[in-house]
Amino acid sequence: MTTEVFKIDPSKLLKLKELLFQNSSTTLLPSTNPYESFRIKYSDGLVIGYTSGKIVTNTSAITKLVSELIQTLEMGEKEYCAVIGSDEAGKGEWLGPITVAAVALTLEQSNLLIAKGVMDSKLLSTPRIVKLADIIKANSLNFHVVVITPERFNRLFREVKDEGKSLNDMLAWGHARAIESVYYNLSAEQLSGKIKIVIDEFDRVKTDRRIKRVLNLNNITLEQKIKAEEETAVAAASILARAEWEMRIDKESKRLAINLRTLSPSEARNHPKANLFAKMSYIHTKEHIT
Protein backbone atom coordinates (compact mmCIF):
# COMPACT_ATOMS: atom_id res chain seq x y z
CA MET A 1 0.00 0.00 0.00
CA THR A 2 1.16 3.53 -0.81
CA THR A 3 0.31 6.39 1.50
CA GLU A 4 -0.51 9.76 -0.08
CA VAL A 5 -1.13 13.05 1.71
CA PHE A 6 -3.25 16.03 0.64
CA LYS A 7 -3.94 19.38 2.31
CA ILE A 8 -7.23 21.28 1.97
CA ASP A 9 -8.95 24.16 3.73
CA PRO A 10 -10.23 22.68 7.04
CA SER A 11 -13.59 24.37 6.44
CA LYS A 12 -14.08 22.04 3.45
CA LEU A 13 -13.63 18.78 5.37
CA LEU A 14 -17.36 18.28 5.93
CA LYS A 15 -18.12 18.79 2.24
CA LEU A 16 -15.40 16.29 1.27
CA LYS A 17 -16.89 13.78 3.69
CA GLU A 18 -20.30 14.28 2.10
CA LEU A 19 -18.87 13.78 -1.38
CA LEU A 20 -17.12 10.59 -0.27
CA PHE A 21 -20.40 9.19 1.00
CA GLN A 22 -22.02 9.65 -2.37
CA ASN A 23 -20.07 6.52 -3.28
CA SER A 24 -21.76 3.31 -2.12
CA SER A 25 -18.42 1.62 -1.41
CA THR A 26 -17.65 3.90 1.55
CA THR A 27 -18.16 3.04 5.22
CA LEU A 28 -17.71 5.38 8.17
CA LEU A 29 -15.34 4.06 10.84
CA PRO A 30 -14.87 5.31 14.43
CA SER A 31 -12.16 7.96 14.83
CA THR A 32 -9.13 6.81 16.80
CA ASN A 33 -8.02 10.21 18.17
CA PRO A 34 -9.41 13.74 18.67
CA TYR A 35 -7.43 15.10 15.71
CA GLU A 36 -9.43 13.04 13.21
CA SER A 37 -12.40 14.68 11.52
CA PHE A 38 -13.39 11.41 9.86
CA ARG A 39 -12.08 7.92 9.08
CA ILE A 40 -13.67 6.22 6.08
CA LYS A 41 -13.17 2.76 4.57
CA TYR A 42 -13.35 2.60 0.78
CA SER A 43 -13.21 -0.89 -0.73
CA ASP A 44 -9.95 -2.26 0.72
CA GLY A 45 -8.53 1.23 1.36
CA LEU A 46 -8.75 3.92 3.99
CA VAL A 47 -9.01 7.70 3.96
CA ILE A 48 -8.51 9.77 7.11
CA GLY A 49 -9.39 13.45 7.33
CA TYR A 50 -7.71 15.45 10.09
CA THR A 51 -9.04 18.64 11.65
CA SER A 52 -5.97 20.47 10.31
CA GLY A 53 -7.16 19.83 6.75
CA LYS A 54 -4.65 17.04 6.10
CA ILE A 55 -6.06 14.06 4.19
CA VAL A 56 -4.29 10.67 4.17
CA THR A 57 -5.07 7.78 1.80
CA ASN A 58 -3.46 4.35 1.58
CA THR A 59 -4.44 2.74 -1.76
CA SER A 60 -4.32 3.89 -5.37
CA ALA A 61 -8.11 3.56 -5.70
CA ILE A 62 -8.97 5.80 -2.74
CA THR A 63 -6.17 8.20 -3.71
CA LYS A 64 -7.67 8.56 -7.19
CA LEU A 65 -11.16 9.15 -5.77
CA VAL A 66 -9.99 11.71 -3.21
CA SER A 67 -7.91 13.51 -5.84
CA GLU A 68 -10.93 13.83 -8.13
CA LEU A 69 -13.19 14.99 -5.30
CA ILE A 70 -10.70 17.61 -4.14
CA GLN A 71 -10.58 19.09 -7.62
CA THR A 72 -14.38 19.31 -7.57
CA LEU A 73 -14.34 20.71 -4.05
CA GLU A 74 -11.78 23.41 -4.75
CA MET A 75 -13.49 24.83 -7.82
CA GLY A 76 -14.54 28.37 -7.05
CA GLU A 77 -15.13 31.74 -8.63
CA LYS A 78 -12.39 32.71 -11.04
CA GLU A 79 -11.54 36.14 -9.64
CA TYR A 80 -8.00 36.19 -11.08
CA CYS A 81 -6.70 34.89 -14.38
CA ALA A 82 -3.49 33.97 -12.56
CA VAL A 83 -1.99 33.97 -9.07
CA ILE A 84 1.78 34.36 -8.68
CA GLY A 85 3.19 33.01 -5.43
CA SER A 86 6.77 33.29 -4.19
CA ASP A 87 8.70 31.68 -1.36
CA GLU A 88 12.28 30.88 -0.43
CA ALA A 89 14.42 28.11 1.02
CA GLY A 90 17.75 28.13 2.83
CA LYS A 91 17.49 31.56 4.42
CA GLY A 92 17.87 30.17 7.95
CA GLU A 93 20.52 27.54 7.22
CA TRP A 94 24.30 27.91 7.22
CA LEU A 95 24.61 25.26 4.54
CA GLY A 96 23.92 25.92 0.88
CA PRO A 97 22.37 28.74 -1.12
CA ILE A 98 19.26 30.81 -0.67
CA THR A 99 16.76 29.88 -3.37
CA VAL A 100 13.73 32.02 -4.18
CA ALA A 101 11.00 30.69 -6.47
CA ALA A 102 7.93 32.23 -8.04
CA VAL A 103 5.12 30.23 -9.66
CA ALA A 104 2.09 31.40 -11.66
CA LEU A 105 -1.08 29.30 -11.61
CA THR A 106 -4.57 29.51 -13.00
CA LEU A 107 -7.45 28.42 -10.78
CA GLU A 108 -7.64 25.13 -12.66
CA GLN A 109 -3.93 24.48 -12.21
CA SER A 110 -4.15 25.35 -8.53
CA ASN A 111 -6.97 22.85 -8.04
CA LEU A 112 -5.04 20.16 -9.92
CA LEU A 113 -1.92 20.70 -7.80
CA ILE A 114 -3.91 20.52 -4.56
CA ALA A 115 -5.27 17.20 -5.78
CA LYS A 116 -1.71 16.05 -6.52
CA GLY A 117 -0.69 16.75 -2.91
CA VAL A 118 0.94 20.19 -3.19
CA MET A 119 1.24 21.87 0.21
CA ASP A 120 3.81 23.79 2.26
CA SER A 121 7.18 22.13 1.59
CA LYS A 122 7.93 22.05 5.34
CA LEU A 123 5.27 19.34 5.63
CA LEU A 124 6.81 17.12 2.94
CA SER A 125 9.71 14.67 2.73
CA THR A 126 12.59 15.42 0.36
CA PRO A 127 11.66 12.64 -2.14
CA ARG A 128 8.09 13.96 -2.22
CA ILE A 129 9.32 17.52 -2.77
CA VAL A 130 11.45 16.41 -5.73
CA LYS A 131 8.56 14.50 -7.27
CA LEU A 132 6.08 17.35 -6.82
CA ALA A 133 8.55 19.87 -8.26
CA ASP A 134 8.35 18.11 -11.64
CA ILE A 135 4.55 18.06 -11.45
CA ILE A 136 4.46 21.79 -10.66
CA LYS A 137 6.78 22.66 -13.54
CA ALA A 138 4.56 20.70 -15.93
CA ASN A 139 1.31 22.23 -14.63
CA SER A 140 2.01 25.94 -14.17
CA LEU A 141 1.77 28.95 -16.43
CA ASN A 142 5.33 29.92 -15.64
CA PHE A 143 7.98 29.61 -12.93
CA HIS A 144 11.39 31.03 -12.13
CA VAL A 145 13.99 30.26 -9.45
CA VAL A 146 16.60 32.76 -8.27
CA VAL A 147 19.70 31.24 -6.65
CA ILE A 148 22.00 33.19 -4.34
CA THR A 149 24.99 30.88 -4.03
CA PRO A 150 26.91 30.78 -0.74
CA GLU A 151 29.87 32.50 -2.41
CA ARG A 152 27.64 35.31 -3.67
CA PHE A 153 25.77 35.46 -0.37
CA ASN A 154 29.02 35.90 1.57
CA ARG A 155 30.01 38.81 -0.64
CA LEU A 156 26.57 40.45 -0.67
CA PHE A 157 26.06 40.01 3.07
CA ARG A 158 29.20 42.01 3.78
CA GLU A 159 28.05 44.70 1.34
CA VAL A 160 24.54 45.07 2.79
CA LYS A 161 25.97 45.23 6.32
CA ASP A 162 28.39 47.97 5.27
CA GLU A 163 25.43 49.88 3.81
CA GLY A 164 23.46 49.58 7.04
CA LYS A 165 21.01 47.07 5.53
CA SER A 166 20.02 43.52 6.45
CA LEU A 167 19.41 40.08 4.97
CA ASN A 168 15.80 41.12 4.35
CA ASP A 169 17.02 43.55 1.70
CA MET A 170 18.64 40.63 -0.10
CA LEU A 171 15.52 38.50 0.26
CA ALA A 172 13.28 41.29 -1.02
CA TRP A 173 15.50 41.59 -4.09
CA GLY A 174 15.28 37.82 -4.69
CA HIS A 175 11.51 37.76 -4.47
CA ALA A 176 11.16 40.79 -6.74
CA ARG A 177 13.51 39.26 -9.31
CA ALA A 178 11.66 35.92 -9.41
CA ILE A 179 8.23 37.56 -9.56
CA GLU A 180 9.33 40.03 -12.24
CA SER A 181 10.51 37.20 -14.50
CA VAL A 182 7.29 35.23 -14.11
CA TYR A 183 5.06 38.27 -14.55
CA TYR A 184 6.62 39.45 -17.80
CA ASN A 185 6.50 35.94 -19.21
CA LEU A 186 2.77 35.96 -18.41
CA SER A 187 2.42 39.31 -20.16
CA ALA A 188 4.00 37.75 -23.23
CA GLU A 189 1.20 35.17 -23.17
CA GLN A 190 -1.31 38.07 -23.33
CA LEU A 191 -3.50 36.79 -20.51
CA SER A 192 -6.61 38.85 -19.96
CA GLY A 193 -7.85 39.51 -16.44
CA LYS A 194 -6.56 40.45 -13.02
CA ILE A 195 -3.36 39.03 -11.53
CA LYS A 196 -2.64 38.52 -7.83
CA ILE A 197 0.81 38.25 -6.26
CA VAL A 198 1.12 36.54 -2.87
CA ILE A 199 4.29 36.55 -0.76
CA ASP A 200 4.97 35.06 2.66
CA GLU A 201 5.47 38.19 4.78
CA PHE A 202 8.95 38.81 6.21
CA ASP A 203 9.45 42.58 5.71
CA ARG A 204 6.42 44.36 4.28
CA VAL A 205 8.07 47.73 3.62
CA LYS A 206 11.23 46.45 1.94
CA THR A 207 9.39 43.88 -0.15
CA ASP A 208 6.77 46.39 -1.26
CA ARG A 209 9.49 48.85 -2.24
CA ARG A 210 11.39 46.25 -4.24
CA ILE A 211 8.29 44.98 -6.08
CA LYS A 212 7.30 48.53 -7.03
CA ARG A 213 10.72 49.04 -8.60
CA VAL A 214 10.05 46.32 -11.18
CA LEU A 215 6.26 46.19 -11.55
CA ASN A 216 3.43 48.69 -11.97
CA LEU A 217 1.00 47.59 -9.26
CA ASN A 218 -1.95 49.68 -10.48
CA ASN A 219 -3.58 46.61 -12.04
CA ILE A 220 -2.08 43.98 -9.75
CA THR A 221 -3.23 42.84 -6.32
CA LEU A 222 -0.23 42.38 -3.99
CA GLU A 223 -0.70 40.41 -0.77
CA GLN A 224 1.96 39.86 1.89
CA LYS A 225 0.69 37.66 4.67
CA ILE A 226 1.71 35.25 7.40
CA LYS A 227 1.26 31.56 6.49
CA ALA A 228 1.03 32.46 2.81
CA GLU A 229 1.71 28.79 1.98
CA GLU A 230 -2.03 28.28 2.40
CA GLU A 231 -2.21 29.80 -1.10
CA THR A 232 -1.42 27.00 -3.56
CA ALA A 233 0.86 29.18 -5.72
CA VAL A 234 3.00 29.99 -2.67
CA ALA A 235 3.07 26.34 -1.57
CA ALA A 236 4.16 25.41 -5.10
CA ALA A 237 6.89 28.06 -4.96
CA SER A 238 8.08 26.72 -1.60
CA ILE A 239 8.43 23.27 -3.18
CA LEU A 240 10.39 24.53 -6.19
CA ALA A 241 12.68 26.59 -3.95
CA ARG A 242 13.35 23.61 -1.66
CA ALA A 243 13.85 21.20 -4.56
CA GLU A 244 16.44 23.55 -6.06
CA TRP A 245 18.18 23.86 -2.66
CA GLU A 246 18.34 20.07 -2.27
CA MET A 247 19.67 19.65 -5.81
CA ARG A 248 22.39 22.25 -5.22
CA ILE A 249 23.55 20.51 -2.04
CA ASP A 250 23.77 17.14 -3.83
CA LYS A 251 25.60 18.68 -6.78
CA GLU A 252 28.14 20.50 -4.60
CA SER A 253 28.69 17.39 -2.46
CA LYS A 254 29.54 15.43 -5.58
CA ARG A 255 31.79 18.17 -6.96
CA LEU A 256 33.75 18.50 -3.70
CA ALA A 257 33.71 14.74 -3.00
CA ILE A 258 32.29 15.30 0.48
CA ASN A 259 28.85 14.68 2.00
CA LEU A 260 27.94 18.23 2.98
CA ARG A 261 24.81 17.04 4.79
CA THR A 262 26.94 15.30 7.44
CA LEU A 263 29.31 18.23 7.94
CA SER A 264 29.12 20.11 11.25
CA PRO A 265 29.39 23.92 11.40
CA SER A 266 32.81 23.67 13.08
CA GLU A 267 34.06 21.29 10.38
CA ALA A 268 32.70 23.59 7.69
CA ARG A 269 34.36 26.64 9.22
CA ASN A 270 37.78 25.01 8.84
CA HIS A 271 37.20 23.58 5.37
CA PRO A 272 39.44 25.24 2.73
CA LYS A 273 36.51 25.63 0.34
CA ALA A 274 33.88 26.58 2.92
CA ASN A 275 33.10 29.82 1.09
CA LEU A 276 31.64 27.75 -1.77
CA PHE A 277 29.05 25.87 0.27
CA ALA A 278 28.56 27.71 3.59
CA LYS A 279 27.09 31.04 4.64
CA MET A 280 30.15 32.06 6.63
CA SER A 281 28.47 34.86 8.59
CA TYR A 282 25.94 32.32 9.92
CA ILE A 283 28.70 30.05 11.19
CA HIS A 284 30.75 32.83 12.78
CA THR A 285 28.01 34.97 14.26
CA LYS A 286 25.00 32.61 14.39
CA GLU A 287 22.87 35.27 12.71
CA HIS A 288 20.24 32.84 11.48
CA ILE A 289 17.09 34.40 10.04
CA THR A 290 13.95 32.43 10.89
Say yes or no: 200 and 178 in one domain.
Answer: yes
Say yes or no: 115 and 247 in one domain.
Answer: yes
Say yes or no: 35 and 160 in one domain.
Answer: no
Domain boundary among 74, 108, 131: 74
| 288 has a pLDDT exceeding 60 | no
Say yes or no: 149 and 223 in one domain.
Answer: yes
Say yes or no: 129 and 237 in one domain.
Answer: yes
| 290 has a pLDDT exceeding 50 | no
Model pLDDT, residue 284: 72
Q: What percent of the chain has pLDDT over 90?
A: 71
Q: How confident is the model at residue 289 (pLDDT cuts 50, 70, 90)?
A: very low
Say yes or no: 70 and 117 in one domain.
Answer: no
Q: pLDDT per residue over 258-280, tens digit each?
A: 999 999 998 998 899 999 999 99
Say yes or no: 170 and 280 in one domain.
Answer: yes
- Whether residue 290 is contained in a domain is answered as no
Least confident of 18-32, 47-61, 116-130, 179-193: 179-193
Say yes or no: 132 and 41 in one domain.
Answer: no
Say yes or no: 137 and 280 in one domain.
Answer: yes
Mean pLDDT of 186-201: 84
Give the chain's domain count: 2
Domain boundary among 56, 74, 92: 74
Q: How confident is the model at residue 96 (pLDDT cuts 50, 70, 90)?
A: very high
Domain span including residue 56: 4-74
Q: What is the dihedral of CA 239, 241, 245, 251, to 10 degrees?
A: 90
Helix axes 107-115, 232-256, angle to 10 degrees: 60
Say yes or no: 156 and 281 in one domain.
Answer: yes
CA atoms within 13 A on the CB side of 122: 9
Mean pLDDT of 91-95: 93
